[in-house]
Structure 1
Amino acid sequence: MQQPTCVIYDRLSRLFAEEAPDHRIAACHAYAEQRGWKVVHVATDTNVSGASKLEDRPGMREVLSWLPRVDYVIAAKLDRYARSVMEFQRLLDAAKSTRTTVITADGVVSPENASIIINVLAAFAEYERDMITARITDSKKHFRSRGNHLGGLAPYGYAVTGPVNDKRWTLDETAAAVIRECADKLINHGATLTGLARELNEREILPPAEHARQRDGRKLRGGKWHTTTLRDVLYTPAVRGWLVQSVPGKKRGAVHNQPVLDAEGRPVSAGPEILNGETWAAVRAILDGRSKGRGAERSGKALLLHVALCSECNGPMYRQRREVKGKDYSTYVCRAGVGKRGIHRPNVVTAHYLDELVSADYLKRFGAFALMRWMEPDGSAVLQLSEVTTQIERLAGNLAQLDPNGTAARVAIAQLTALENRQAELRAEADHSEGRWVDAGGTVADEWQRRTEEGRRALLADLGARVVVRPATPGAPRRFDSSRVSVDFEGPAWFRSDPAAAELAATATGEREHQQAA
C-alpha cells in the first residue's frame, strides 16, 4: 500500500520571536509521523493576514499547487488556514475538487471527522455570505437615501468629492458646459444628435469615458462621441442632480433609469443640477419625438427632404448628390418615376435652384416673425408618479404580513400615508402641467442665418412647409423652371392653434413689405 502524503502549512500575521512558527510546524511533523504520512512540502506565510484571499498568499499558493499530488494538508490550528469563513470554505472547495483532506494537528479537524466539520463550516460560510449581502444592501440603501455616490464613475458632467462615507457629486464645469451647449442647440437652434456628435468630435471634445480618463490622469483610448452616447448624457435624470437607479426587468441605461426616491416619494439629490426641469423636459421631448426605431426612414442632410413632394404620387423627393470639377449638379428626384418599374414620368429638378427658391420665399414671408419654441412641462412628475405607485404597492403587500398592533406596522402605515400624499401631489402636477410657446429670442431670419442645413430643415418643418414639384414638360428647355414649383406654408406652428394671432402677424408682415416696396 502506498504511503499517504501531506503538505504542512503555517501562517503568521506578524513575526515575533515568541511567535516563531517552529513549534507549530514541529507539531504538524509529529502528527504526520504518528499517522504514518510522508511530509512532501512545508509552506509558510509570514506577515500575512488570515482574512486575505488565498491567491494573495505566496505560501498558500504553494499549497494549492500541491493539492492534486497529496492526500492531506495539515496546519497546527484552524485559524492558521484563515480567519475568514469564506476563505476557508474556498480552500475546502479546492481540496474537495482534488480529493484532498484538510486537517489540523490539534485534532479539531481529523480524517475521521473532517466531513462533518466541513459541512458545519459550509453552513456557516453560507450564513456569512448572506449576512455580508444583507449588510451591503442595507448600507447601500442608507447611503442612497442620503444622496451619497455609491461607487464607480460619476455621471458625465459631475466629479465625486467628499470622504469615504459621504461622497457627493460636484459639477465638472468643462463637461457640464458641453451638456448645456448641446441642450441649447437642440432646443433653440434645430440641431440633431448626429450633427452635434459630429461637431463634438471635430472640436476634439472628449466623450464621457475619455474625459474621465483624462481627468484621472489615465491613458486615453481614442474613444469618440456617438449619437447614443450623447443621447444618454442628455436624457438621464442625473443631469437634474438626482441619484438614479435602473428599473428592474429593463435594460440598464439612461433611457430606462429612474431617479431614486425618498420615503415621501421625492427625488434624492446627489449634487447640483446641470439642467433645470424645464430645459431637461424640453430636451427629452425632442429626443423622444425624433426616436424612430430600427427600420424607420431616416432624414438625411438635404434641406428639403420630406418637404419637397412629387405632384404625381405625393411621394418625397430625394436629393441625389453629384459634383463635377467643384460644381454642384445635385438634383431632387422622385424614385417612383425612375427606371423600368417607375409608375409615372420622371420628375427631376436641380437641387440648389430649388433650395434657393424655397429659402427666399420662406424668409420673405416669415423672416420678420419673432421665433417661438414649444416648452414641454417638466416630465419628471410622471416618472416620479410611476415610482411612487410601485413603492405603495410593494409596501401595501408587506403590510398585510405584519402584526396590525406591532411597531413595524405603525411605521409602515405612516410611510404609506406619506407616499399616498405624495402620489396625490404628483397626480395633480402631472394633470395640470401644460406645454406652451415661449419666445426663443430674435427673429426667424436671424435664426435661419445661425443654423446649419439640418437646423434650417427643422425650421421649414415648424412652419409647415410644403413644396410640390411637377415633372418637366416634354421637349421643354433643360433649365430650372420656377413654374414647376408650388411653395406653400401652413404658417408657424405657434400660430396654427391661434388664428387671430396668425391674422395679425400676416397683416403686420404685409404692411412691412408694402413700406419696403415704397
Structure 2
Amino acid sequence: MRAAIYARYSSSLQTAASIDDQIRLCREHAAKQRWTVVHVYSDAAVSGATILRPGLQGALAAARDGSIDIIIAEALDRISRDQEDVAGIYKRLSFAGVALVTLSEGEIGALHVGLKGTMNAIFLKDLADKTRRGMRGKLESGKAVAGLSYGYRVTAVGERSIDEGEATIVRRIFIEYDQGLSPRQIAKRLNAAAVPGPGGRLWGPSTVVGNRHRGLGVINNEIYIGTMVWNRQRFVKDPDSRKRQARANPRDAWVRVPAPHLRIVDDDIWQRVKERQGAYEHKPLSGRRRPKHFLSGLIKCASCGGGMSAINQTQFGCSTAHDRGTCPDPARINKKELERRILTALECNLVRPEAFAAFCETFTRVMNERRREQAVSIRGREADLAKVTRELDRFVDALAQGVPADRVRERMVELEERRAVLLAQSGQEEAPGPYLHPNMAEVYRRKVSELAASLSGEQTAAAKARETLRSLIDRIVITMAPEGPSVDLIGDLAGILNVASAGAIRGSTVAGGPKESRVAGHRTSLFLGQERISFRASA
C-alpha cells in the first residue's frame, strides 16, 4: 500500500519539531502496517480553519492522480478543523478510492466526519471566544492588542512607544487639515516631499481621512489622543472565497482604554478637526444628485494607466496625479473638447454612407452567408430527424404485424439513439435571425443620427443614449503631446469609427484574422465581432 503522510501545526509560537514528531509517529505506524511511504506533506504555522494549504492540496492532488492509496495523519484536526472542509475532503478521498487514517481515530468513516467535524467546529468557536477574552484582558491591563498604527514602534510584546519621526507627520496632517487643506492636498504634499506612508506605501486621501464612523484614517484614530480602541470591527469568513471580510461593530461595543503615554496630538486640535468633519458630513453637495457624465469611468491616463475623473467643472484629469501627485505625465482634457471629438466622429464619420458602405457590404455579406449556412444545417437536421422517425414507425408497424423483435431490436436501438442526438442538437441551436439588409449603412446612419441628437435632448432619451454609447466603449485613453491631448478609443464603437475613417475594408477581415490599417497616423489592429480595437479621435 502506498501511503502519504500529512502533518501540520497551526501557531507560529510552536516549533517545527511538532511536524517532525508527527511525521515520525506516522512513519512508525506505516512500518507496523507494512505500508510504503511515498510522499510526505506538511504545513507549518497554518490554521486548520482553511483548506487553502499547499501541503494539504499536494496530498489531495496525489490522491486524485492515483499515486497513493492511504493518507496518514496524527489526528483528524490536523487535516482540517472546518466541518464543511472535513466532509468535502472525505468525499473527495472516497471518490478517489484513497483511505484516510489517523493515529487517534483509526480509519476515518462517515461517523468520524460527522462527530469529529462538529467537535472541531465547536473547538474553533471556543478558541475564538477565549482569544477575544484574552485580548480584552490584555487591553484592560494597558497592553496594545490591535495592529501597529502609524506613528508608533513596537518595544516589546504588547508595548508601544512613539516614533518621533512619524509622530511629526501625524501632527502635520492634523495641522494642515485644521488649516483647511483637503485630504487630497495633504496626501499630494506628503508624496511630493517623499514622506513614506503607512507600510511604506504612497499617501492617498483615504489614508488621511479614512472612515469616520469606523475610526479609520489618521484623523479618526483615537490612539493619537491617548486612547486605545478595540473591537471596532469583527471579521467573518466568506464561505466561497475563504477570505475574511470586515464588519463594523456598533459604537457601544467598542472598548476604550486610556493610554496617555501614546498621545501625539492635543484635544484642542482633535476637536477642531472633528468639527470640520462634522460640518462637511451634514452639508449637502447639492439639492439633487448630479448626473454622471456619459464618459465617466471610461477614461484612462496613458502615462500611468490610472483612471481619469472630473477634477473641476470643466476638465477631466488623471486621478493618480490629482489624488497622490505621482503620475509622471498626467493627462488632462477639457470635458466639452473630449465630448466634441467623440460626437464629431459619430456625426462626421458614421453618417456618411459612402464611407461606411464598404464595411456594411462586407459585414452584411458574411453575416448573411453564416445565417444561410446555419439555416441549411437546421433544415438538413430536420430532414434527417423526419427520416429516422419514419423508419422507426415502420419497425413499430412490423412488430405489430408479428415480425420477431430479435430481428429489428438492434436497428431500432440505433435509430432511437440517433433520434435522441438529433433532438438534443435541435434544442441547443437557435433558429437563425433575419438576414441583414444590404442597405444597412443607411439604417445605421439614421440610428447614429438619432443617438447623437438624443444626447442633448429630453432627459430620459439622453440617459438611454448615454448608456447605449457607454456599452460600445471599452475605454478611452488620453495621451499628452506637445500639440495637445490625443484621444484613443478602444472598443466596438472604436472599430466602427476606424472602418468609417479608413473608408473601406479590403480582404476578408470579417472571416479572417486582424487587418492592420492607419488612422490619423495611428497604427491599429482591426477586428470585427467582439474583439477590441483602437481608434484615434483627432482634434
TM over 0.5: no
- Higher relative CO (Cα under 8 Å, sequence separation at least 6) belongs to 1
TM-score (norm. length: structure 1): 0.39
Higher-Rg member (1/2)? 1
TM-score (norm. length: structure 2): 0.38
